[in-house]
Amino acid sequence: LEGKNKKEFLKGAEIAYESILTSFASGDLIKLKALLSPNMFSNFSDAIKSRNKENIKSEFTFIGVKESSVEKYEKIKDNLFATVKFAAEVISVKKDKDNKIIEGNADKIKFVTDSWKFTKNINNKSPNWYLSEIISQ
């Protein structure tokens, strides 16, 4: 993965990153399903269900990706895996059922660093990559 391909890939990864984070915050399962591996999808939808059960609202503003880089690229059998490190700025707030802030700060931009592993099956005609793992820092 190099040169122009790498640039294109990272551009797509950044779009996916923003889309997954904002869809998770708004609870958009349809969008998430198109971007996540089945395993990740069930993790994300469980988290959304439990958040809804506790009446927790997630307010999220994506400011932008400051930088992204491919940390690891590998092929295992018919699957490609690319681990991407993102450094981004977001505003993230969680509120309880009484609209009280329980986490985050609405007036403060937070700097986040994430390593996400994307996967793609080489036999699949679709050009799409799916988020398959979030690697804890």
85, pLDDT greater than 90: yes
Grade residue 137 by pLDDT with cuts at 50, 70 and 90.
low
Say what the pLDDT of residue 67 is. Answer: 97
Q: What percent of the chain has pLDDT over 90?
A: 91
The whole-number pLDDT of residue 115 equals 97
Tell me what pLDDT residue 127 has: 83
Looking at residue 136, its pLDDT comes to: 74
| HEC-encoded secondary structure of 77-134 | CCEEEEEEEEEEEEEEEEECCCCCEEEECCCCCEEEEEEEEEEEECCCCCCCCEEEEE
Q: Please compute the mean of the pLDDT values over residues 21-48 and round it to a whole number.
A: 97
Mean pLDDT computed over 78-101: 96
pLDDT digits (tens, 9 = 90+) for 93-129: 999 999 999 999 999 999 999 999 999 999 988 888 9
Lowest-pLDDT range of 2-11, 38-47, 93-102 = 2-11
Query: Average per-residue pLDDT in the chain?
Result: 95
Residue 30: per-residue pLDDT: 97
CB-based contacts of 106, cutoff 8 Å, min separation 6: 59, 91, 93
